Chain A
Amino acid sequence: MKNTLFLFLFLFLFSPLYIQANVIEVGASKPVQSIKKAIAIAKVDDTILVHNGLYKEGNIVIDKKIVFIGKDFPILDGQKKYEVLSIKADSVIVEGLKIINSGYGTLEDPCGIKVYNRKNIVIQNNILENNFFGIYIQNGKNCIVKENKIRAYGKQEQLIGNGIHCWKSDSLQISANTISGHRDGIYFEFVTNSVIWRNISIMNVRYGLHFMFSNDDAYISNIFKNNGAGVAVMFTKRVKMFNNFFEENWGDSAYGLLLKEISDSYIIGNKFDKNTTGIHMEGTSRILVEKNGFKANGWGMKIQASCMDNEIKNNNFIGNTFDIATNGNLVLNTFNSNYWDKYEGYDLDKNGIGDVPFHPLSLFAVITENNPSAMLLFRSFMITLLDKSEKILPSITPDNFIDKTPLMHSLTL
């Protein structure tokens, strides 16, 4: 016991001698005026504190373990020619910088901040503006990207990169970032065991979140709004999507959430508001869609016939033009205990569950799926008549496409 106490005391008193971490200040009125020079003279575990100012130093490479902090957001300008900050050492911390104008290139993707095959990197509280790619994590591990504000002004898909681009990485935490105007807000490819949490991704040219071949990830409480094509999650297993907001993703091929070849996943507690299509499912299997709110969408869910064993239960479908659409007669998914505002049944025993099953698939949804121009006739009296008779005697719509226990009242989600 005594020994341990001595040991602690010893460590406490003498540790500064051994862990000699200097602070190198960079600024116009400081001894070191150039960031590159500061990095050159820094030793491992030093801190470089960059003061407010404009730094046009081309490509800055951090090749040793340092803490790189900006005070009052110094501006690092890539002058539209260079990659601004390249991180080529483990455990680097980058904080408080304003990084603007990275170069443009299709071969080597110049970025605002790029991590090359490293681990334990922390990138937080930076402002990135008008870069080709914002933050790029290439083959990283245990990295944290937190509270950055990333903005670009892309007009065309080809001319702009992604906000946060992660490739072949593991155990990343992407949280509380705000991204707008990039191609994809957040892009994940071959990224595993990672979490995307509380980000706001709006008005990006293509997807708010683009997700491919990334197993065992979760994204929670993000807001994806007004993106060119919504959110796409493809070729992935075991992904968890909780409490996200998908809003106002409007357009011909825009989806609140596009699922393609997804399996064993969970979509719980999300809100889909005012999208052209809330969820579009293609080749997905064994997914649980539970406690989501679908409100004022053109199509609540489009479930292609290639989907199977998905369970859709306890969701609210309110004010959608079409609740469900599909492109075939095969029904391999189950719908249970959802609330449909189009349900017209009754509840004699007052147990909150409608006594007659509900057919969520309307005739007109089938007609427009086969013949999109028919949208022209929507809500015409003729079509309403046809729809009503189809509800009573299904002939075109598959008769096993039903919710046997539709709820009488909407769920509070």
Chain B
Amino acid sequence: MYRIIKIIFFDILKNKIVLAYTLILALLSWSSFGLEDNAAKGLLTILNVILFTVPLVSILFATIYLYNSSEFIELLLSQPIKRKKIWLSLFIGLSLSMVLAFFIGAGIPLLINAPGIVGIMMIIVGCLISVIFVSLAFLSSILTRDKAKGIGIAIMNWLYFALLFDGMVLFLLYQLSDYPIEKAMVAVTALSPIDLARIQILLHLDVSAMLGYTGAIFKDFFGTTTGLIMSFLFLCFWFFFPFYISLNKFKSKDL
């Protein structure tokens, strides 16, 4: 298994796209810290990168990579290796490269320019988001054999979590504004990994505002150790669950 991971990992590195992604992330991060006079604004730029660019690149790249390596997968299947091992190695190889790209591109400037809890939190959350969207890519690509359809599903997934979901939440908030929905809203955030990630960072970035009004409710939930563990458990669930479904499908799939 280790050898398959290694092969995949180096194959991705040879591909150069991940290198370019790393470079672009680094460029964005360094310039956002360099151009703005206060570190908080640089953090905001990177927050947007985490919530927007990282999911998009992770899910698209992983989906396309999976489709393109279908022959390689078939070749591996002809060997006496368990299907589970192959699929897991692919997942680990892809996740590892995306996480590494994020860490080198955005993590290092974060550690240098904004050391402390916010920076570390952002790195952890960014890595988790990378893995989650790789996992979603696995799900998208296993659902259909048609490449165009698979990539389409991946893009839809990304659009849903990055844009649509928040729009729907806003709509719901307005429709139900007469009811005490604050607590329910906490539960709703668990339905989107991007929202979970965003709120975890917000609690550190905008701590003063999060203590006012309903912010206090979120702070009471997410800010406590239990809340922190809960939201990280949810994030872990978000990368485990789609991958688990895809793994089950892959095991019994007629390739």
- From A251, A254, A374, A383, residue with most partner B Cβ within 10 Å: A374
Contact of A304 with B by CB under 8 A = no
CB nearest to A298 among chain B residues: B209
Contact of B191 with A by CB under 8 A = no
Restricting to A242-300, which residues have a CB under 8 Å from any CB of B?
Answer: 250-252, 254, 274-277, 296-299
**A379–B41 alpha-carbon span in the complex (Å):** 12
Contact of A7 with B by CB under 8 A = no
Q: Are A380 and B198 in contact (CB under 8 A)?
A: yes
Q: Are B208 and A381 in contact (CB under 8 A)?
A: no
Contact of B209 among A321, A373, A374, A384 (CB under 8 A): A321
Segment at the interface with A among B10-18, B43-51, B77-85, B88-96: B43-51
Contact of A322 with B by CB under 8 A = yes
Taking CB atoms, residues of chain B closer than 8 Å to A381 are: 48, 51-52, 162-163, 166
Taking CB atoms, residues of chain B closer than 8 Å to A276 are: 208-209, 211-212
Contact of A372 with B by CB under 8 A = yes
Q: Are B52 and A382 in contact (CB under 8 A)?
A: no
Contact of A341 with B by CB under 8 A = yes
- From B162, B195, B202, B212, residue with most partner A Cβ within 10 Å: B212
Minimum C-beta distance from B215 to chain A (A) = 5
**A97–B211 alpha-carbon span in the complex (Å):** 40
Minimum C-beta distance from A391 to chain B (A) = 16
**A297–B209 alpha-carbon span in the complex (Å):** 7
Q: Are A376 and B211 in contact (CB under 8 A)?
A: no
Contact of B156 with A by CB under 8 A = no
Taking CB atoms, residues of chain A closer than 8 Å to B115 are: none
Contact of B38 among A250, A274, A275, A319 (CB under 8 A): A319
| Contact of A377 with B209 at beta-carbon distance under 8 Å, contacts A252-B216, A319-B40, A371-B177 already known | no
CB nearest to B44 among chain A residues: A379
Q: Are B174 and A371 in contact (CB under 8 A)?
A: yes
Q: Are B51 and A375 in contact (CB under 8 A)?
A: no
Segment at the interface with A among B120-128, B181-189, B240-248: B181-189
Q: Using an 8 Å CB-CB cutoff, how does the interface string of A344-383 with B read, 1 for contact, 0 for none? A: 0000000000000000000000001011111111111111
Q: B residues touching A (Cβ–Cβ < 8 Å)?
A: 38, 40-41, 44, 47-48, 51-52, 162-163, 166-167, 169-170, 173-174, 177, 181-182, 185, 188-189, 195, 198-199, 202, 205-216, 218
12 pairs from A and B in contact (CB 8 Å cutoff): A297-B208, A298-B206, A298-B208, A368-B213, A370-B177, A371-B173, A373-B177, A376-B189, A376-B214, A379-B205, A382-B166, A383-B170
